[in-house]
Amino acid sequence: MALVASHISTKLAEKGLTVDKDLVIAASLLHDIAKMECLDKGKDHCTEGAKLLSASGFSDIADVVRQHVKLDRICMETNLPAMVTNYSDKRVKHNKIVTLKERFDDITARYVKTKMDMERIESLYKQTKEVEVLLFKTLDSDPNEVLLLEERVFDFRF
């Protein structure tokens, strides 16, 4: 996920937008910091991860981590790190870069048990599509270009 987030952040910076790439990468690496603990307890891993990070003195990262599933607002001027992190999370399934459809099919299969769950996932999909349109209109590129990053994951040069 950090690879996708780093790529998008870099491209946004090249277009002249101010984006705190270090914040985006840190939040991308830490976004699921509380997930394992929360799975068995029925707690919200976004909120719990944010609490942990805030208590450790990382409130800026905590705010982004808290929003990595559902954004507070879609605003390029005031919420860009959270938007990039949130969107990047929706483009990675485990350790593979995928389309939004693949990711949301997986989310639906794993988490939808009730009609209310389905409505929540549909709302998240709609929000993610809005973010995608805004980000990639700004970048003047195709969202599926991030799929090409998959080829670079194992292209290490020592």
Lowest mean pLDDT among 51-55, 77-81, 86-90: 77-81
pLDDT for the residue numbered 152: 62
Over residues 22-28, mean pLDDT = 97
pLDDT band for 62, please (50, 70, 90 cuts).
very high
What is the percent of the chain with per-residue pLDDT over 90, rounded to a whole number? 83
Q: Which fold has domain 2-152?
A: Hypothetical protein af1432 (1.10.3210)
The helix or strand, by DSSP H or E, that contains position 96, with its residue range, turns out to be strand 96-97
Residue 36 has pLDDT above 90, yes or no: no
Within the chain, residue ranges assigned H as helices are: 2-14, 21-30, 35-39, 45-55, 59-66, 80-89, 100-111, 115-139
Which one of 37-41, 136-140, 151-155 scores highest in mean pLDDT?
136-140
Averaged pLDDT of the chain: 92
What token pair was written down for 155? Answer: 């292209």
Dist. CA 66–CA 70, nearest whole Å: 8
More confident site: 76 or 134: 134
Dist. CA 52–CA 11, nearest whole Å: 31
Residue 158 has pLDDT above 50, yes or no: no
With CA atoms as reference, report the closest residue to 76 among 16, 32, 124: 16
Residue 26 has pLDDT above 60, yes or no: yes
Residue 64 has pLDDT above 80, yes or no: yes
pLDDT for the residue numbered 78: 86
pLDDT for the residue numbered 74: 87
Give residue limits of the domains in the chain.
2-152
> What is the reported pTM?
0.92
pLDDT band for 153, please (50, 70, 90 cuts).
low
